[in-house]
Amino acid sequence: MGVSPSPRPGDPAPDFTLPSTAGSDVTLSSFQGRSNVLLAFFPLAFTGVCTAELCDFSLEFDAFANVEATVFGISVDSVPTLNAFKKQHDITIDLLSDFKRRVSRQYGTLLEEPFFSARAYFMVDKQGILRWAHVEHELGHKRDNAELLAELRKLG
């Protein structure tokens, strides 16, 4: 699916720094010792399934916080586009811009032909180890929050 293989559960999560809708850069390794992290790669802002997925994360923001998880949506959209998307749909999680597609390549999710990421989920524990991963085979599908929360609960 991607240029390189996705990291596998048990591997250290590939570190990165990306600009965010919070106004500052986010570095994955800065969450070590503080929070589990759910990286939710999505194809493009303002598309149906992506909008539903990110709105669902916002609706269940507290449920993710209760399992000590920080959720980031990641797409190849620019920060201004992500800010407009976040504002229009009242999205409460921070969105990260992988405009240069480096992180999508690092995680093996970049679809070269349309030049955006597949929908994919990577759970990173507080030690920075990847514990669960899922890449959707069809763009129109997404994981249920209940499934994601159950996996996060396993991280403790």
Supply the residues annotated as catalytic. 50
Q: What are residue 22's DSSP bridge partners?
A: none
- With beta carbons less than 8 A apart as the criterion, state whether 45 and 77 touch: yes
Q: How many residues in total does the chain contain?
A: 156
E strands, the chain, are 17-19, 25-27, 36-41, 69-75, 94-97, 110-111, 116-117, 120-124, 130-135
Alpha helices in 6-139 (DSSP H): 48-59, 61-66, 79-88, 102-106
3 state SS of 85? helix
User: Which residues have a Cβ under 8 Å from the Cβ of 137 and sit 6 or more positions away?
Assistant: none
